[in-house]
A and B are shown apart, each in its own frame.
Chain A
Amino acid sequence: MSDVPSIRVAGIHKSFGPIEVLRGVSFDVPRGSVVSVIGASGSGKSTLLRCVNYLEPPNAGEIYIDGEPLGTRIDVRGNRKPRSLSEVNAMRRELGVVFQQFNLWPHMTVLGNVIEAPIRVRKAPRKEAIAYGEECLRRVRMIEKANEYPARLSGGQQQRAAIARALAMRPKAMLFDEATSSLDPELTDEVLGVMRELARDGTTMIVVTHEMAFAREVSDRVIFLHQGVIEEEGPPAEIFGAPRSERLGQFLSKYRK
Chain B
Amino acid sequence: MSDALKQSLDLSIFWEYRAILLQGLVFNALVFLGAAALALSAGLGAALMRINRFWPARLVGTLYVEIFRNAPDYIMLVWVHFVLPLLIGIAIRRRVEFDPFASAVIALGLVYSGYFAEGFRAGIQAIPQGNLDAGRAFGMSERLILWRITLPQVVRRMLPEALNLFVSMFKATTIVSLIAVPDLMYNVSMVIQQEMRPLPLYTGAAITYFALIFLLSTGVRYFSESWRRKIMA
Contacts and interface: CB of A to CB of B under 8 A. Distances in A.
Interface of A: 53, 55, 85-86, 89-90, 92-93, 95-97, 99, 101-107, 116-117, 120-121, 149-151, 165-166, 169
Contacts of A116: 138, 148
Contacts of A90: 139
B232 A93 contact: no
Nearest to B151: A107
B207 interface: no
B139 A99 contact: no
B134 A105 contact: yes
B219 interface: no
A55 B136 contact: yes
A126 to B, nearest CB: 14
B141 A107 contact: no
A106 B227 CA distance: 12
B152 interface: yes
Contacts of A93: 138-139
Contacts of B149: 105
Contacts of A53: 137
B134 A99 contact: yes
Contact of A149 (B133, B142, B231): B231
Interface in B125-145: 128, 130-131, 133-142, 144
A169 B232 CA distance: 27
Contacts of A166: 138
A149 B28 CA distance: 39
A120 B140 CA distance: 8
Contact of B156 (A97, A101, A104, A107): A107
Contact of B148 (A92, A97, A120, A165): A120
Interface string B208-233: 00000000000000000000001111
A89 B136 contact: yes
Given A103-B130, A149-B230, A117 B156 contact: no
A149 B134 CA distance: 17
Nearest to A91: B139
B229 to A, nearest CB: 9
B231 to A, nearest CB: 4
Interface residues of B, number: 23
Given A55-B133, A149-B231, A151-B232, A117 B139 contact: yes
B138 A121 contact: yes
Given A55-B136, A120-B148, A89 B141 contact: yes
Given A107-B153, A151-B231, A151-B232, A89 B133 contact: no
Nearest to A104: B134
B128, B134, B135, B233 — most chain A CB neighbours (10 Å): B134
Nearest to B130: A103
A99 B130 CA distance: 8
A103 B230 contact: no
Given A55-B133, A99-B130, A101-B130, A151 B138 contact: no
Contacts of B131: 103, 105-106
A106 B230 CA distance: 9
18 contacts: A53-B137, A55-B136, A85-B142, A86-B141, A89-B139, A95-B137, A96-B138, A97-B137, A101-B130, A103-B128, A103-B130, A105-B134, A106-B153, A120-B140, A120-B144, A149-B231, A151-B232, A165-B134
Contacts of B139: 89-90, 92-93, 117, 121, 169
Contacts of A117: 138-140
A92, A106, A165 — most chain B CB neighbours (10 Å): A106
